A and B are shown apart, each in its own frame.
Chain A
């Protein structure tokens, strides 16, 4: 069975500090991977997607970056957090492209102060 794990579960960070959120998928090789973000009371927005190791496409510009260093790992990061980065970050995977079922991880809640 496939499992998706995100870390950390929650984080409180200062404005201007760096951030690194992680996501790993076990039990599935070469998945398509996605990062989503939802501000409190807002809409779930797709930020990045990756179809293979080393390849990441940006969908929404939020002063964040993403990398896929391994087949089963997706990292979301920034060197300087903004207040507007607060929210809920979800990682997801699918077998093929966006028209396939997306399986979401448990999410990371981020508060920037």
Chain B
């Protein structure tokens, strides 16, 4: 089954508002959580990531919140701008996993954020 889930496929936010994107995961072994941004016809690029030893990380307008007990992490974008309009992919992974899966990064299906002027 899908190990990382983005339940809301799309989100529309007014310019200047806060965009909140959510991600749920299943595997207790995940210890790395990331958000990638993807423009149409472009490849994903890393926005921000966090290890499981912290529950929050800020970088400018971006904040990742990690809730390990709830197996949930989210991306908050403050002061959202039209150029934030893109597809956002969450990803989770762990190195040296058992069962032969090795170093695997699992992605969510993506959520399209539209920031309207």
How far does the alpha carbon of A105 sit from the alpha carbon of B101 in the complex, in Å? 23
0 or 1 for each of A36-52: is its CB under 8 Å from B? (1 = yes)? 00000011111001010
Residues of B within 8 Å of A103, CB to CB, are: 45
Indicate whether A101 reaches chain B with its CB closer than 8 angstroms: yes
How far does the alpha carbon of A62 sit from the alpha carbon of B95 in the complex, in Å? 22
How far does the alpha carbon of A92 sit from the alpha carbon of B106 in the complex, in Å? 14
Q: Is the interface of B mostly helix, strand, loop or mixed?
A: strand
Residues of A within 8 Å of B44, CB to CB, are: 44, 90, 104
* Band of interface residues on B: 20 to 34
Number of interface residues of A (CB under 8 A): 22
B107 lies within 8 A of A45 (CB):
yes
Residues of A within 8 Å of B110, CB to CB, are: 43-44
A98 lies within 8 A of B107 (CB):
no
0 or 1 for each of B80-117: is its CB under 8 Å from A? (1 = yes)? 00000000010001110000011111111110000000
Indicate whether B49 reaches chain A with its CB closer than 8 angstroms: yes
How far does the alpha carbon of A102 sit from the alpha carbon of B106 in the complex, in Å? 12
- Listed from nearest, the 9 A-B pairs whose CB atoms lie closest are A104-B43, A98-B103, A99-B32, A44-B107, A98-B93, A57-B102, A97-B95, A101-B46, A43-B109
